[in-house]
Structure 1
Amino acid sequence: MIKQRFLSLSLVLASGFLLGLAPQKVQPNIIIILADDMGYSDLGSFGSEIQTPQLDALAKGGLKMTQFYNASRCCPTRASLLTGVYPHQAGVGHMVNEREHPSYRGMLNEECVTIAEALKEGGYNTLMTGKWHLNDRKEHWPVKQGFDRYFGLLDGANSYFGNRPYRPNQKLTYGLDDAAYTPGKDFYATNAYTDFALKFIDERKEKAKPFFLYLAYTAPHWPLHALETDIAKYRGKYSKGWDVLREERFKRMKALGILPQTAKLSPRDEEVPAWESVPAAERKIWEEKMAVYAAMVDRMDQNIGRLRQKLKETGEDKNTIIMFLSDNGGSYEDIDGPAFTPEILAASKMPASDPASFTAYEYEGANLSNTPFRKFKRWEHEGGISTPFIAYFPNTIKPGSINHQPAHIIDLMATTLDLAGVAYPKTYQGKTIKPMEGISLAPLFKGQKWQGHDAIFFEHEGNRAVRQGDWKLVSMFPENKWALYNIKTDRSELNDLSAQNPKKVQEMEALYNAWATRANVVPFAQLLEYDKQKKSK
């Protein structure tokens, strides 16, 4: 059906040309760029001091969405982004831990399709570089999930300078198409992902067809690894410390229209000490960590510039939509404990600028990245699920647009297919496919009214939330106590209104429970018990 429709479209275009009519717009190239563990305020166009001129230019020339949501963790976000359904519905309700339960298989199931599979059926070249993290079983590599070409990291993290297992008995895999790849001399992951993206664009077999590129950078996920030329730009820039930097970012976010003038900055996280109380020697360590983190984001931006230059050189820049976002909020994670090898634990104590190091950004850095919000990656508070979102599409998106409606990664499947003129399949390879959960953003891109969502839902490791209109109901595991916030007046979630609005809590809890049943969510305590029993057998 899809091939037949595109044949018909070709005939329409041809007949229009013969009759002297204006040609219909051709299918656009579509690029989705995903950062890894980057916080809400880490781009210049979202308030940061980090130099991100390429992304800032895309924001200035396109659309910024200030209330765009991810799924608060690497694997669930990637599953949901690629399939247009919630993570549990795609089979990745947790991480890549393989369980027998259909919502927690730890890999994409057969009841969903990827954007690549749908667009490939619709006549697209489908390309991917970067982090996959949706199971490294060979039958689940990207080239088995609709991508014509792939280069990147199949796993969740690695050294940016090569292949370096960090957990006991761990095997990490870089892949090129359907084979393992060994990084060579002068390898730096962020550059390599872009190198192969440009190579794949050049080498695509059918250049008359549009392409879809999913470019999933690992930056700025731990370990903190950057090139010296980039680090040098930020040495001495972080001596004022995270408290002052949070205030400065907050002021810029208001000036940029990211936050309303009535917004409030959340208090410094309880895990983070006041900067002035940190001993001078330790402050130097943190200054360097913040400089290296900034350098990682900076280098990612430079590489996005390389991609944009390629589009200009090939004349494809005017018919390419670029969408940028992050997979979760800033990461509080540390390199500590028996989960890591002794060698990696020792490397985590080395200076962050040393290529042999293996350090993390921890609570201190993540609290700055998530300005002005509370909490981090893994939680369903705004600091865990909020991402800067930028969409750039010349002659379609009005330059300098800004939108404050809540949207979600489930919307990207609907959006790409809408822009491409490709139908979402009811069946794929003989399997019935779950209906899309997302809503196309294309009307919004065209300056039209966008209906938005009645409600958006979140669950990860027992942390839960539902967003409906201006209201958000959220709870943390294991407390499992609902808190209610008015996001319009309190985006930083500082004033719990649950006691004053018990009926609203009941209504939204009922919404969440109905969704959890439909999405086949297992309470996290039960999931932990299941794992415990399985391990004891």
Structure 2
Amino acid sequence: MFLMSRMTGRSFLFLAVWMQSVLNVQLKVSPHIVLIVADDLGWNDVGWHNSQMYTPNLDKLAQNGVILNSSYVLPVCTPTRSSLLTGYYPYHVGLQHNVIHSSRPSHLYMNFTLLPQKLKELNYTTHMVGKWHLGFCNWNYTPTYRGFDSFLGMYLGAEDYYTHSTGNSTVPGYDFRFNKSVYHEVTGEYSANVFARRAVDIINSVDPEKESLFLYVPFQSVHYPLQVPKKYEDIYSHIQNKARRTYCGMVSALDEAVGNITNALTQRGYMDNLLLIFTTDNGGPVNHGANNWPLRGSKNTLWEGGTKGAAFVYSKTLLNKTKYVNTEMFHVVDWFPTLLSVAGGKAEPGLDGINLWPTIQSGVPSNRSMFVYNIDEIMQNAAIRTASVA
């Protein structure tokens, strides 16, 4: 009481401001996480690897963040997506064989807890926009039953970018959903634009000062069929090969979509507490316009061209070391425990994935000394990689 009676008005004001600052620190939300996945993007199809590619938005993020030059994925869509969201190799999940087709009642088993479910336990709001490709033969296997608060996108792996029809001669159908409802309102709109607009709507609906956001945006781009608005293809008018010209235009359309998302994140005030991850799901299909030079192989192969993915991380505040190329070994299964660590959680023991946040954040040597490319007894192929020993 004696101390309080001796305090001046200025002292009271100082104390109030100090207590409020302490309270603000205590109430600061966990880092926002935006995970963007490109589909079928080749190693040589991004500007930071190939100056002839027009990807200014991706280049700016990559060059001001950390370029991951030894980031490995699986050779096709479904296996990579299962590893990304579970932290397990596909052969431990039962999804190591190619992809889930429209007529195949396959799915990611319910005994695996997915990344958005773990982030929900850490009070994140979780949203997905884009391509699922992890099963839909029962509602329980679809995104809003696997940890996502909302879902806009496609269940399967390939469809028309405008009509959103699979075009499958065996099981044709319209493949676009908003949560559980068939969503026809975007028929005729290019999917990259639809996905970016929905992502922006989500960004604007969340208060970055009060809620932690996990936004998963696995684009359809740049998977075949080769389709893009003409203005993007015209950027590459000097390319004579039609497939390559269209494919490159699709990459630039994807880049603009990412730019729209990052602009919204900036305007809404996320950037001071954000980690953004960009990766491809597999190498580029050279028979559909992609380019993996100088890597050997293509999508669907275990060679580097099929499994070494273009990737980077960006953050304005969370990285201790930026603007460099990180060559430490990283595998797609590592995102699960790594992102849980960023969110303030911890993965349960037994995962194939390793928490490599120290490697990404500060550039320390990776704790990963090997990984399994895949083990597929049906296709009769398997491979492992070990770190070189000096």
TM bin (shorter chain): 0.7 to 0.9
Specify the SS of the correspondent of 1:44.
coil
The residue aligned with 2:13 is none
Q: How does 1:290-329 map to 2 (within 5 A)?
A: 290-329=244-283
The residue aligned with 2:184 is 182
CA distance in 2 between counterparts of 1:98 and 1:192 reads 23
- How far residue 373 of structure 1 moved from its aligned partner, in angstroms, is 1.3
Which deviates more, 162-171 or 324-333? 162-171
Deviations 1:301-334 (Å, cap 9, x if unpaired)?
Answer: 101111111011111112111110101111145x
Specify the SS of the correspondent of 2:156.
coil
* Mapped contact 1:63–1:402 kept (Cα < 8 A): yes
- Does residue 409 of structure 1 match 2:332? yes
Classify 1:20/1:215 alpha carbon distance in 2 versus 1 (closer, same or farther; 3 Å). Answer: closer
AA paired with 2:109?
Answer: N
- How far residue 446 of structure 1 moved from its aligned partner, in angstroms, is 2.5
* Mapped contact 2:164–2:187 kept (Cα < 8 A): no
- How far residue 380 of structure 1 moved from its aligned partner, in angstroms, is 0.8
- How far residue 215 of structure 1 moved from its aligned partner, in angstroms, is 0.4
- How far residue 105 of structure 1 moved from its aligned partner, in angstroms, is 7.8
Specify the SS of the correspondent of 2:317.
coil
- How far residue 143 of structure 1 moved from its aligned partner, in angstroms, is 0.4
AA paired with 1:470?
Answer: S
Classify 1:292/1:439 alpha carbon distance in 2 versus 1 (closer, same or farther; 3 Å). Answer: same
- Does residue 380 of structure 1 match 2:264? no
Q: What value does the CA root-mean-square deviation take over the aligned residues?
A: 2.5
- How far residue 184 of structure 1 moved from its aligned partner, in angstroms, is 3.5
Q: Kindly, what percent of the aligned residue pairs are identical?
A: 28
CA distance in 2 between counterparts of 1:223 and 1:435 reads 39
Q: TM-score scaled by structure 2?
A: 0.87
- How far residue 195 of structure 1 moved from its aligned partner, in angstroms, is 1.0
- How far residue 452 of structure 1 moved from its aligned partner, in angstroms, is 2.5
Specify the SS of the correspondent of 2:118.
helix
The residue aligned with 1:139 is 140
Specify the SS of the correspondent of 2:309.
strand
Specify the SS of the correspondent of 1:232.
helix
CA distance in 2 between counterparts of 1:133 and 1:116 reads 16
Specify the SS of the correspondent of 2:305.
helix
Q: TM-score scaled by structure 1?
A: 0.64
Q: Which residue, out of 73, 85, 94, partners 1:70? A: 73
* Structure with more relative contact order (C-alpha pairs < 8 Å, separation 6 or more): 2
CA distance in 2 between counterparts of 1:178 and 1:437 reads 32
Classify 1:234/1:28 alpha carbon distance in 2 versus 1 (closer, same or farther; 3 Å). Answer: same
Equivalent pairs, count = 366
- How far residue 174 of structure 1 moved from its aligned partner, in angstroms, is 0.8
* Mapped contact 1:42–1:48 kept (Cα < 8 A): no
CA distance in 1 between counterparts of 2:276 and 2:351 reads 22
* Mapped contact 1:33–1:216 kept (Cα < 8 A): yes
Classify 1:17/1:446 alpha carbon distance in 2 versus 1 (closer, same or farther; 3 Å). Answer: farther
The residue aligned with 1:437 is 352
- How far residue 158 of structure 1 moved from its aligned partner, in angstroms, is 0.5
CA distance in 2 between counterparts of 1:189 and 1:208 reads 31
* Mapped contact 1:163–1:183 kept (Cα < 8 A): no
Deviations 1:71-99 (Å, cap 9, x if unpaired)?
Answer: 11100000001111111222312232699
- How far residue 228 of structure 1 moved from its aligned partner, in angstroms, is 1.1
The residue aligned with 1:155 is 156
Specify the SS of the correspondent of 1:43.
coil
Q: How does 1:119-518 map to 2 (within 5 A)?
A: 119-137=119-137, 138-170=139-171, 171-184=173-186, 186-204=188-206, 208-236=210-238, 238-239=239-240, 287-332=241-286, 361=288, 365-366=289-290, 369-397=291-319, 398-424=321-347, 426=348, 435-459=350-374, 460=376, 461-470=379-388
CA distance in 2 between counterparts of 1:329 and 1:183 reads 32
Classify 1:186/1:96 alpha carbon distance in 2 versus 1 (closer, same or farther; 3 Å). Answer: closer
* Mapped contact 2:338–2:355 kept (Cα < 8 A): yes
- Does residue 34 of structure 1 match 2:54? no
Specify the SS of the correspondent of 2:247.
helix
The residue aligned with 2:100 is 96
In structure 1, list runs of 5 or more residues that go unmatched.
Answer: 1-15, 240-286, 334-360, 427-433, 472-487, 489-537
CA distance in 2 between counterparts of 1:406 and 1:32 reads 19
- How far residue 417 of structure 1 moved from its aligned partner, in angstroms, is 0.4
AA paired with 1:93?
Answer: Q
Specify the SS of the correspondent of 2:364.
coil
Specify the SS of the correspondent of 1:438.
coil
- How far residue 51 of structure 1 moved from its aligned partner, in angstroms, is 0.5
- How far residue 441 of structure 1 moved from its aligned partner, in angstroms, is 2.5
The residue aligned with 1:499 is none
The residue aligned with 2:110 is 110
Classify 1:172/1:452 alpha carbon distance in 2 versus 1 (closer, same or farther; 3 Å). Answer: farther
CA distance in 2 between counterparts of 1:141 and 1:108 reads 9
- How far residue 19 of structure 1 moved from its aligned partner, in angstroms, is 8.5
